[in-house]
Amino acid sequence: MNWTPRDVIRLVALIGGFLLCGIGAALMWFGVGAEGTVGIKSSVMSGTVKTGSAGLFTLFFGFGVIIFVIASFTVRESGERLSPSQRRSRTEHIIRAFWAVLAAFVLTASLAALGYGAGFAGAAIFLGAFLVFVGVAYVVQLDYE
């Protein structure tokens, strides 16, 4: 497996996104508040976020980082998109698993942060670790294609 600088940057950004989500969940757990409005303007989305929770804003930002990094995996070095037949390969199954695990992680972490039981926190920790493994499997599979 040959790692390019672009792959290293993607990996660091993905880890950073997960760390921001974890910090956001911790801030929500401790009830850290924030007041204000943040304007977001990009080519993909724009608008304002009014927040009463610093954790919720941090979680939103981390999730945005993760989405942009995952979206960059489908673009080759030359900038051309993958063909439809290549998109239906094994990586498609892995990315579906990634989204399913991510949704389950967000759900269980939210329930744990809201105090619905200690079991949700343990499940969120397990799903978070599993999410990292699924992401690594996706990156490795992209390298083989």
3-state secondary structure string across 107-136 = HHHHHHHCCCCHHHHHHHHHHHHHHHHHHH
Residue-wise pLDDT for 122-142, tens only, equals: 778 778 878 887 887 777 777
Q: What pLDDT shows up at residue 89?
A: 66
User: What is the C-alpha to C-alpha distance for residues 57 and 32, in angstroms, rounded to an integer?
Assistant: 11
Q: Which residue has the higher pLDDT, 28 or 82?
A: 28
Binned at pLDDT 50, 70 and 90, residue 96 comes out as confident
Q: How many CB atoms lie within 10 A of CB 20?
A: 19
Q: What pLDDT shows up at residue 117?
A: 67
Residue-wise pLDDT for 42-63, tens only, equals: 766 677 766 567 777 787 788 8
Domain boundaries, the chain: 1-72, 85-145
Q: What pLDDT shows up at residue 4?
A: 78
Q: By the 8 A CB rule, do 17 and 63 touch?
A: yes
Give exposure, 84-97, as e/b (b: 16+ Cβ within 10 Å).
eeeeeeebeebbee
Q: What pLDDT shows up at residue 74?
A: 60
